[in-house]
Structure 1
């Protein structure tokens, strides 16, 4: 292991150049216009897998899916098999004017590596391959077996991922799952995530008429669909209490006293958050009274209006609009059932419609169920020990307000395999936003932690990792 750690230090610039090559390709999956670029990143990832020392590296697809990169190393008989997951597709470049450097050129600045995909999630590809190469280029072998999948459509909901897992279930079968697509809550503090919120999205359509009417003729007399939609959405306003949806919290699992006490020991700088996001001085935080930011975002339901349409500003006309639509994203927590949550939301939003307009609520895409595990057992102990040594600081087990839909089903597919979600981002990473970046010091520490994790897991048998 020491030779592998030494190799990481001596070859860090090579690893960074590999990451630079990955982020230089605009593999945007959300607009359907970058399939060529996504093909190129999959091919490059396969090339980098081979260079790192993985075998049988190839591009795989299922049906009409975007490409997956797959590689393996299976020459450690009797040792656990570790499944590594990352994704090579990225979000588009929004608010271009706010980027301080070329989003497709990895740029060092103030101890960080800036580029679209640097943190989410091409940095994870480089971290995994760096740890693998550290062993393969020194001692020639790994202490565990490796199967690595890098997906090409995570940013569009991983719509083919479960089909991919089912199609290749025998090929990918593993004992432990490792994912680096979550956050450390502050720079230098290693975090392992043991809970994820689920997500369910509803489309809300309001109809008041078949055609628009000149506002000089109908304004004040006809029901305004756009205004009615906002009145409907306004019913969700929760001030500093619970969401006012009847029955919505009946199945929400309370945090234990131990969990609550743990979250309240964690560092959180509200002033820094407000400054970094640019929250206007008059705006208040929206947490339920008595809860902190972690309790609220990890273990409480949330609703967010993520899109709204009635007419465009550019095409605005003096009309009473007949139709308006919104998407409401709902974050779900243990033990909420997505279907029940949808039905409760729909009943609440359709009741007592303004002016009696028609309000229709329908599912917008499939839901993702919440996930939670017990962060104990041999695999978690190996991960926590590796992170403690790699970061030089005691790691903490945390929740995550986001969703990674495949973790629970994949763990079940592998017969209850432990899922280790090791943080790569931090609050300043700005994933999905302008000036996305990866903290270079934490990047180094994560790779050192992965080297140590492989060593720790290699001291266990496949039967003893759970």
Structure 2
């Protein structure tokens, strides 16, 4: 029996035990957004530290931050071999609305070879797979093919407010050759993907104020500016009829799409008709001149997430509201800067502010975009590991969403980042009935151990950015 077969046998024989361990992890309601779960956050950190110890990792610690702690562990005895820094998170989203869950969010249950529980896909299941991969290699070989460091935080679901400082303060401790993150998804069922780019984020709230209080629309209407009309004018000014963003200078730093990337996206044969049916629309709409994948992966956006103001109850109320507003988020692409985009948004809003109102703009979430060349050896090796286990070619994709801390890792540690996820977009992460397809749990374990061994074949110079 060769090495690969031994590891396969190990995972098969330990499957039920591993799933029970994962269920115990999932039973901990580690909701970072709710202060009443602070004790559960500590419990989850302790559970992880104990699991890393059982897997054979050393130098274990629960490192305090201004928020929830970071769990750290390493194994550094592969002399001359590359070092992988693995990042994940142990916190989960709130579970509301509870009545839509078919089983308890913290009562893990397997149905149709899917594990249902909050955090099963995002991100406890994927984190624990890397712990089990290390454990398997240590049990079977007594050693690891590479050096490895684990950093698992407890604030990803609230924007990782403490992690950037932690990285800055621990640059030497976290020094590595590549960063591996499993907090993304595959291209589809049975279709593995390595993500090499994420969009950034810039969010603002626009508040429009008119009169000092609500006015009678019969007495004052037609003679006083209506803040809802004003916010509607501002929002309408953001795009032209073709879906292009009309904010001056918005596109000036956008990195053009490489023809090689465009060809790779075309080769994926994305099912546009299937998407329309899935989301319930009769046609798609986006920036002219780009395919849907290009629009959602490689082009920036400006989306209105919510509009508020006036009376919205049952019936009608003849009121001219005193205030109105909107919440906006922009998804950004390389080489856009969130601070620069917010400045341009403010200038645009000021230039298009109607008469008779005052307008204020409040800044919210910001995160820089991230991209690693998809021909980097660490990226290509991940694709080879997927292909070996899944038996199909790996897609190299960008992702329309944002993981702001990835750009911080990239900038502070200056390392290539490999996003190799095992989730599916249909798994309801952040929603009721979150689940994880156990086919990807089983195959993912084999992918990870194969990847660790492939990385061991590289020199440190091979892996430099």
Q: What's the TM-score, normalizing by structure 1?
A: 0.91
Q: Mark the CA change 1:75 to 1:40 in structure 2 (over 3 Å): closer, same or farther.
A: same
Cross-structure match for 1:335: 335
In 1, Cα distance between the equivalents of 2:129 and 2:135? 10
Cross-structure match for 1:407: 406
Instruction: Map 1:438-457 to 2 at 5 A.
Output: 438-457=436-455
Instruction: Map 1:51-200 to 2 at 5 A.
Output: 51-62=54-65, 64-200=66-202
Q: Is the contact made by 1:226 and 1:324 (CA closer than 8 Å) also made in structure 2?
A: yes
RMSD of aligned Cα (Å): 2.4
Instruction: Map 1:24-423 to 2 at 5 A.
Output: 24-62=27-65, 64-215=66-217, 217-277=219-279, 279=280, 281-282=281-282, 284-310=283-309, 319-365=319-365, 367-414=366-413, 416-423=414-421
Query: What SS does the aligned partner of 2:421 have?
Result: strand
In 2, Cα distance between the equivalents of 1:33 and 1:129? 28
Q: Mark the CA change 1:210 to 1:423 in structure 2 (over 3 Å): closer, same or farther.
A: same
Cross-structure match for 1:18: 21
The CA deviation string for residues 215-261 of structure 1, in whole angstroms up to 9 with x for no partner, is: 56545543332443233223335554312222222222221222111
In 1, Cα distance between the equivalents of 2:220 and 2:377? 70
Q: Is the contact made by 1:15 and 1:126 (CA closer than 8 Å) also made in structure 2?
A: no
Q: Is the contact made by 1:18 and 1:126 (CA closer than 8 Å) also made in structure 2?
A: no
Query: What SS does the aligned partner of 1:82 have?
Result: strand
The CA deviation string for residues 2-47 of structure 1, in whole angstroms up to 9 with x for no partner, is: 2233212221222222222222222222344422222221121112
Query: What SS does the aligned partner of 2:436 have?
Result: strand
Q: Mark the CA change 1:207 to 1:272 in structure 2 (over 3 Å): closer, same or farther.
A: same
Q: What's the TM-score, normalizing by structure 2?
A: 0.91
Query: What SS does the aligned partner of 1:37 have?
Result: helix
Query: What SS does the aligned partner of 2:201 have?
Result: strand
In 1, Cα distance between the equivalents of 2:144 and 2:135? 9
Q: Tell me whether 1:7 sits opposite 2:10 in the alignment.
A: yes
Q: Is the contact made by 1:350 and 1:360 (CA closer than 8 Å) also made in structure 2?
A: no
After TM superposition, give the deviation of residue 69 of structure 1 in Å: 1.4
Query: What SS does the aligned partner of 2:61 have?
Result: strand
Gaps of 5+ in 2: none
Query: What SS does the aligned partner of 1:364 have?
Result: strand
Q: Is the contact made by 1:200 and 1:332 (CA closer than 8 Å) also made in structure 2?
A: yes
After superposing the two structures, state which structure 1 stretch, 258-267 or 91-100, moved more. Answer: 91-100
After superposing the two structures, state which structure 1 stretch, 376-385 or 70-79, moved more. Answer: 376-385
After superposing the two structures, state which structure 1 stretch, 15-24 or 303-312, moved more. Answer: 303-312
Query: What SS does the aligned partner of 2:188 have?
Result: coil
Cross-structure match for 1:465: 463
Pick from 431, 434, 439 the counterpart of residue 432 of structure 2. Answer: 434
In 2, Cα distance between the equivalents of 1:441 and 1:193? 20
Q: Is the contact made by 2:196 and 2:379 (CA closer than 8 Å) also made in structure 1?
A: no
- How many residue pairs match? The answer is 460
After TM superposition, give the deviation of residue 432 of structure 1 in Å: 1.7
Q: Mark the CA change 1:432 to 1:343 in structure 2 (over 3 Å): closer, same or farther.
A: same
Q: Mark the CA change 1:380 to 1:236 in structure 2 (over 3 Å): closer, same or farther.
A: same
After superposing the two structures, state which structure 1 stretch, 118-127 or 423-432, moved more. Answer: 423-432
Q: Mark the CA change 1:417 to 1:336 in structure 2 (over 3 Å): closer, same or farther.
A: closer
In 2, Cα distance between the equivalents of 1:318 and 1:159? 44
Gaps of 5+ in 1: none
